[in-house]
Amino acid sequence: MQVAQQSPARITQAFAATTDVVTRGGTFDPSAALFHSKQYRIVNQLGEGGMGTVYQAYDPMLERNVAIKVLKPGLPTALRHRFLAEARHGARLSHPHLARVYDLGIELDTGLDWFAMEFLQGRDLETLLQRAGLRRLRLPTTLVGLVFNHVLDALQHAHDAGLVHRDVKPANIFVSRRPGQDIVSAKLLDFGVALDRRRDGDNTDICGDPRYVAPEQILGEATTDHRADIYAAGISLFEALAGWHPMESVLKQGTQALIQAHCEGELPPLSAALPKHWSPTMRSRLEDVVNIACAKQPSQRFASAATMRKALKRALRNETC
């Protein structure tokens, strides 16, 4: 589906009733199926990726802006399943630091899959880190602490619901600021490759970004669980604090070198990458948080995202940089 800037095009959804909706005497018959139809007005295109295109749209019935993600045509069935999983997991979870999914449907004219989700204004953490790096700046530690406080809280909620995200990384962490306010909020995005351990059980599929995946996830071990997300959060936290990826030296050597680094290599000391004017106590505590989160053996990591969140808050307590 091609939608131009400021296009009046609409995405229409209609749920056809399996039986006719019957009204008797002006009252609704709850035994009949409910017919629902609505339209979203496309405002502009926000971005495009390998799987789909994202638009800003307006919901005239609820009078709010939404983001519409439309799946590209002709993709393999596995990618369509990933797209639908992202929507369904997003609708299943309800948390202030997870993007809400409102609707899922098929565009009537083209047959393309789409879903409507919360419209967010801001930037993903990867973009913020890249922009800071170009200016030879570091993200404020208070901001990094707040962002990961929110992300780890969201992860705990997902884990409690039986979901393992499997793709935690700065590009999937969206940082927004409320209009006219200094209140910053972070949201964890994209549950497209999430593992539902209550339904799927053990799963040996290899997925995720090789820059952030845990050793057991790379190797496709059936024991992959929520602690793989804690590992990825630890790698992301290192990058956000230091301003560079802990495996920067092998990033250009290809996927195999990254896999070996995750499975066998040691992280560089985070304390040495942090500014010297920071207190030694804080630098040491932050390094401990990252090292525990990124332990090679899952049993040696934090037992939960909530435990890691508490450790990070303790490490940053009474410190501002």
Q: How many CA atoms lie within 13 A of 275 on its CB side?
A: 11
Cβ contacts of residue 280 below 8 Å, gap of 6+?
Answer: 271
Q: And the tokens for 290?
A: 């990252």
Q: And the tokens for 161?
A: 């619901």
Q: Bridge-partner residues for 113, per DSSP? A: 106
Calculated CA dihedral for residues 193, 197, 201, 203, nearest 10 degrees: 30
Alpha-carbon gap, residue 145 to 148, rounded angstroms = 5
Reference 273, options 316, 242, 231; nearest CA is 242
Q: And the tokens for 123?
A: 């930037």
Cβ contacts of residue 31 below 8 Å, gap of 6+?
Answer: none
Among 124, 167, 190, 229, the one annotated catalytic: 167
Q: Bridge-partner residues for 45, per DSSP? A: 55
Q: Cα-atom radius of gyration of the chain, to the nearest Å?
A: 22
Residue 167 annotated as catalytic: yes
Q: How many CA atoms lie within 13 A of 227 on its CB side?
A: 18
What separation in angstroms does the CA of 199 have from each of 81, 163, 188, 303? 15, 10, 22, 22
At 162 the three-state DSSP class reads coil
Which phi and psi angles does 235 have, rounded to 5°? -60, -40
Q: And the tokens for 309?
A: 């969140």
What amino acid positions are annotated as catalytic residues?
167
